[in-house]
Amino acid sequence: MDQPHSETALSVSVEPEGLLVAGDADDVATYLRKLRFNAVETVEVVGVDAQTVTGAAALATGLAAIGAQHGTFVRIRPADVELLRKFKVIPGESGFNRMTVTDVAGRFRGQMQWQPAQLAGTKALSLQMAVATIALQTAIAETTAAIERVEGTVDQVLNLAKATTIGDVIGHHRSLTRIVRTLDETGTLPAVDWDSVAHLGPTIETVVERLRAHINKTIDGFDRTKPVQDRAKYLTRAVSDNRLGETLELLVLAQDSMYQWQRLRIERVRETEFANLELVIATARRILAEQLDSDSELLLKARAELASYAAIKPLELLRWLSTTQLKRDVVQLRCDLDSFATARRAEVLGWHDHEDPTVRDALAELGTRVKSFGDSAKVLGSRGLDAGATGLDILGRSAQRVAAHRRREAKPDTDNTESPWSK
């Protein structure tokens, strides 16, 4: 006789930052597979269970508040969220929801029926804290490449951004990373650790805004109406002198520091000023949303300007030195923008969903990420040389035709001229 299956509950908290899926480990894994089947852009960000806390002590607290042993936080591209809601793969409304699973053989088949669930008091706040903490932790995909790129140029970039009083940006990031790691591993934030970085919050916000302002000012200088030689010179200054690529990397690094500081602030308030915790969590989530909006606008603006700025008009092909230089710097900046987009998880956040298709087409002509910048510059340079040689060849042939015509006009008529030797 078949044994009846025990009922288990799958819980999903739907938030602007992503989904917190909690419940039995097998149920969560099966649900994630269904998410991926229906929305290929689904990205699993972090998972924890009762025995092993991976990267987020607050997530364990959030799971405990809803009586779950296992949980996973996922981000889904906005367009996919709407599709999944339509077919009831995820709950239709934001908030905390449960679905009862009763049949192992048929679980998650057909449309899912979600029931809103109410969490009161500290349980609801613990869940909000868990979501905010993970969202802050995973907002930046990777900082190692950014650190390697900007080391040795930080002072120059800060000087260009008029942020020379900010201090040691890389040092601050390392200190915050070390303290956050201790918090994740131990679940505690020593007072001495918080006191050593408490003053950094406003400083980091200032450097973020000044770096973004410097990037926007440089991009605003892209004037597509100017001749190719002027465009090439400006882009070279933007890449080499204004350190546009390094500024983008430093912006990523500073933002990661900002998010880590907010995580520590939330934990500090939880321990010492619990009455203010809800307000602090809301503030951190608002900062996160504002930064994402600003970065999305910056990236799409930069890509659009670059696409039009890089367009070479037919007559400009004759200036092959300028076109080669322009293409070389365009490839470099394209790679820098791609790196920034990857660090900010642009694809899963859907930043490119509403981009003008002509922008994507124009940038696609520049190629995707190349093996090395030197290889791409070499390829584009040879194309520029070929174009220049073609133009020079056309001019050469024209000059030859003109010279031949003039020689024919100057040559005496041999048919009507008597030879001196005939006499």
> What tens digit of pLDDT does each residue of 18-48 get?
888 888 888 888 888 888 888 876 777 766 5
| Contact between residue 10 and residue 90 where contact means Cβ atoms under 8 Å apart | no
| Residue 77, pLDDT above cutoff 80 | yes
> Which of 18-22, 81-85, 217-221, 228-232: highest mean pLDDT?
217-221
Average pLDDT over residues 72-80: 87
Which pLDDT score is estimated for 296?
Answer: 95
For residue range 275-296, what is the model confidence (pLDDT) as tens digits? Answer: 999 999 999 999 999 999 999 9
Average pLDDT over residues 140-162: 90
| Residue 246, pLDDT above cutoff 70 | yes
| Contact between residue 58 and residue 265 where contact means Cβ atoms under 8 Å apart | no
Question: Which pLDDT band holds residue 404 (cuts at 50, 70, 90)?
Answer: low
For residue range 181-211, what is the model confidence (pLDDT) as tens digits? Answer: 898 888 889 999 999 999 999 999 999 999 9
Cα 354 from Cα 248, distance rounded (Å): 22
| Contact between residue 135 and residue 285 where contact means Cβ atoms under 8 Å apart | yes
> Which of 4-8, 18-22, 57-61: highest mean pLDDT?
18-22
Which pLDDT score is estimated for 323?
Answer: 64
Cα 351 from Cα 361, distance rounded (Å): 16
Which pLDDT score is estimated for 413?
Answer: 47
Going through 50-154 in order, the beta strands assigned E by DSSP cover 70-75, 95-101, 115-116
Q: Which of 108-117, 322-331, 412-421 is least confident?
A: 412-421
| Residue 110, pLDDT above cutoff 80 | no
Percentage of residues in the chain having pLDDT higher than 90:
32
| Residue 112, pLDDT above cutoff 90 | no
| Residue 249, pLDDT above cutoff 80 | yes
- CA of 296: how far to CAs of 41, 299, 362, in Å? 18, 5, 19
Average pLDDT over residues 339-346: 93
Q: Which residue has the higher pLDDT, 392 or 86?
A: 86
Which pLDDT score is estimated for 101?
Answer: 63
| Residue 89, pLDDT above cutoff 90 | no
Average pLDDT over residues 399-419: 46
Which pLDDT score is estimated for 309?
Answer: 79
Average pLDDT over residues 303-324: 65
- DSSP letters for 83-111: HHHHTTSS-SSSEEEEEEE--TTTTT-S-
| Residue 335, pLDDT above cutoff 70 | yes
Cα 220 from Cα 212, distance rounded (Å): 12
| Residue 370, pLDDT above cutoff 60 | no
Which pLDDT score is estimated for 51?
Answer: 47
Which pLDDT score is estimated for 372?
Answer: 33
| Contact between residue 136 and residue 291 where contact means Cβ atoms under 8 Å apart | no
Which pLDDT score is estimated for 47?
Answer: 61
Q: What is the mean pLDDT of the chain?
A: 78
Helix (H, G, I), strand (E, B) or coil at 423: coil
Which pLDDT score is estimated for 53?
Answer: 46
